[in-house]
Amino acid sequence: MDGTGRNGAGSGAAGGETVSIVIVARDAAALLPGSVAAVLAQTPPPHEIIVVDDGSRDALAAVTRRLPVRTLHDGRRGTAAARNAGLRCARGELVLFLAAGDRLPPGTLAALTAALRDDPAAVMAGAAGPLPDGAILWRRAALAGAGGFRAAAGPALDLDAALRLGRGRTTAASSGQGAPGLGALRGRCLRAALRSLLAHDARAAWTLAGSVAASLALPGRTVLPTGS
């Protein structure tokens, strides 16, 4: 893995905490500029934007050189590995992951950082509403301490990480409605496991079911974006 590029983002913060945005991109040269523009339009903007190139074969490298981002070239190892590469290189105390093509609606970052600022014990914040899948703001140290993202979770990376991170911990909701119970997250994770099983992805189904089993009898509350 190598890193190149420049950082022209601002100094987004939640109670003084810096924010990193990690965008995973593969063959997404046409989509990336719009994603970056939406991030830079946030008030305040993040401290940095990191683009993890997951083995692109298009003109993505040339596009990133024209954008105010740091670029990591991580081979073609998949979303989980690319996110973890960005997590390791992030300098912000808070981190949010996007896919190239995702566009954060105005005010998203302010709402999520405010949720964590108002709840210092929280380890992650999500919001109800039309946000991209995975638009969760994580405390970087907590996510890294939980092992980051697991490729074995298949398409349910965020559910799996949130469930592992939420064991016995407090999390935050930015919608003002309070965070639903850990039991609700277990239910979502089990449904994701069933979908994986029906898609003949036994590894993901087993991994997600294992996360649910490990979380049983542990108190906590969490929130994920609508549709997770």
Q: Which residues of the chain have pLDDT under 50?
A: 14, 130, 176-181, 217-228
Instruction: Dump pLDDT digits (tens) for 13-23.
Output: 545 789 999 99
Q: How far apart are CA 85 and CA 12, in angstroms?
A: 21
Predicted pLDDT at 138 = 92
Half-sphere exposure of 98 (CA within 13 A, CB side): 26
* 70-77, long-range: CB < 8 A, 24+ apart: 70/3, 70/4, 70/5, 70/6, 70/7, 71/3, 71/4, 71/5, 72/1, 72/2, 72/3, 73/1, 73/2, 73/3, 73/4, 74/1, 75/1, 76/26
Predicted pLDDT at 198 = 61
Cα 197 to the chain's mean position, in Å? 24
Place of tokens 């995973």: 24
A 10 A CB-CB count for 4 gives 14
Predicted pLDDT at 223 = 39
Output Rg (C-alpha) for the chain, integer angstroms. 17
A 10 A CB-CB count for 45 gives 19
Predicted pLDDT at 164 = 78
Cα 201 to the chain's mean position, in Å? 22
Instruction: Dump pLDDT digits (tens) for 75-124.
Output: 889 999 999 999 999 999 999 999 999 999 998 899 889 888 888 888 88
